[in-house]
Amino acid sequence: MDKFLVRGGKPLHGKIEIGGAKNSALPCLAATLLTSETVILHNVPYVKDLITQRRLLEDLGATALTPELRTHKVTARHIERFEAPYELVKTMRASVLALGPLLARFGQAKVSLPGGCAIGTRPIDLHLKAFEELGATVSLEAGNVVARAPEGGLVGAEVDFEKVTVTGTENVMMAASLARGKTIVRNAACEPEIEDLADLLNKMGARIRGAGTPTIEIAGVEHLGSAEHTIIPDRIETGTFIVAAAITGGEIEIKNCRPDHLSAVIEKLREAGVVIEELNPSTLHVKVASDGLAAADVTTEPHPLFPTDMQAQYMALMTQARGTSVIKETIFENRFMHASELIRMGAKIDISGNTATVHGRTRLSGAPVLASDLRASASLVLAGLAADGETMIDRVYHIDRGYESIVPKLRSVGADIQRITEAAA
């Protein structure tokens, strides 16, 4: 298993370019299953999860070409199977995004039920309930979710999510695009990735209004066709690099980003003493205020509030802030795995239920640590950049799922970080 070796204490300086959003590219790739025509997606980040999603499409019978590194040209004309096998689902929950498109276009879908994951149980009951509301019958057979559309296909309906779910909203939006009649989704997720998917679907011929707000209206169409679309920049990668600059006391320019997609993060980081200047609508300049970082409490909430996917990185930052900060995680029940590793590096953090209290500022010192999930890995890299001495981060396959070229990108702004490959480790 690859590891990262980080030698901390070097302020970052320079320019970083942000890649495409993993969480947008995943549903957009799944959406290619909705048509027999070719869909071209640009700015797809080169990360493990996207390679897995593409393997799933190919496994189903789609052809996928890569005319350029970050461009995928997918034609799902001859789909031979309607099934996402356990081998793929267990490595990436987002394979459940195949359910909606397969069910809508072919009237059937079978997806292995995702098990628990490091950050909680993460059920998909709300996705399934929404499909049932569109007329599907759903059953559990040998660990697989088997969904079948009624004779004549899915039928538009009112779907009122009892809890905000990002991939659930995406799944129902894709399914309802090919349903007969109109679907209204209430309490829909408002993440920018939802809007991006709706943009792609509308280019393919769907009739979706209101994506990005809690109420989405989808007028079903008979047929979806070819489209070309560029994935939005990754707001979590952007936030992670803002924290990287701040935690090292550096100064960097972040290019190709969408600051308007992470307003709550920027606002919170400003409150904590990070000076973030918008040079233009796609470029940020980041440095720390002359009086340093100060503790600021945060609670994770669905978009447009502070995202759970930035909680771990924010916790690493708070170890370097003056004062005590309270971090509440309301989205996932077990998302503080990074805290125990940060404590091993010298952080003072108390955990009680879904609340972490971080007592800053503590001097961090390098230690061998274990990455437990994607964003937890990022927080350990950030802590390592701020720590004295060497931090060896194990199980970095988690970070490879969602951060493209994080080592070269950090090195390009002066970080001392290297990948130790399995053979050499």
Q: Which residues bind ligand UD1 (CB under 6 A)?
A: 23, 26, 93-94, 120, 122-127, 163, 165-168, 307-309, 331-332
Q: How far is the CB of 190 from ligand UD1 (least distance, A)?
A: 11
Q: How far is the CB of 54 from ligand UD1 (least distance, A)?
A: 15
Q: Which is nearer to ligand UD1, 104 or 293 (CB)?
A: 104
Q: Which is nearer to ligand UD1, 75 or 308 (CB)?
A: 308
Whats the size of the chain, residue-wise? 425
**Known active-site residue 117:** yes
Q: How far is the CB of 283 from ligand UD1 (least distance, A)?
A: 25
Question: Of 28, 117, 190, 257, which residue is the catalytic one?
Answer: 117
> Which sign does the torsion angle of CA 121, 125, 126, 127 carry?
positive
Please give the Cα distance from 260 to 24 (Å, whole number). 16
Q: Which is nearer to ligand UD1, 75 or 95 (CB)?
A: 95
Q: Which is nearer to ligand UD1, 47 or 124 (CB)?
A: 124
Q: Which is nearer to ligand UD1, 302 or 360 (CB)?
A: 302
Please give the Cα distance from 177 to 100 (Å, whole number). 10
Cβ burial of 19 (10 Å; 0-12, 13-18, 19+) is: buried
Q: How far is the CB of 25 from ligand UD1 (least distance, A)?
A: 9
> 138: which strand partners?
147
**DSSP secondary structure of 204-223:** TT-EEE-BTBS-EEEE--S-
112 by DSSP, 3-state: which?
strand
Cβ burial of 249 (10 Å; 0-12, 13-18, 19+) is: middle
* Residue 191 DSSP label: -
Q: How far is the CB of 191 from ligand UD1 (least distance, A)?
A: 7
Q: Which residues contact 225 (CB under 8 A, 6 or more apart)?
A: 35, 37, 204, 205
Give the catalytic positions in this structure: 117
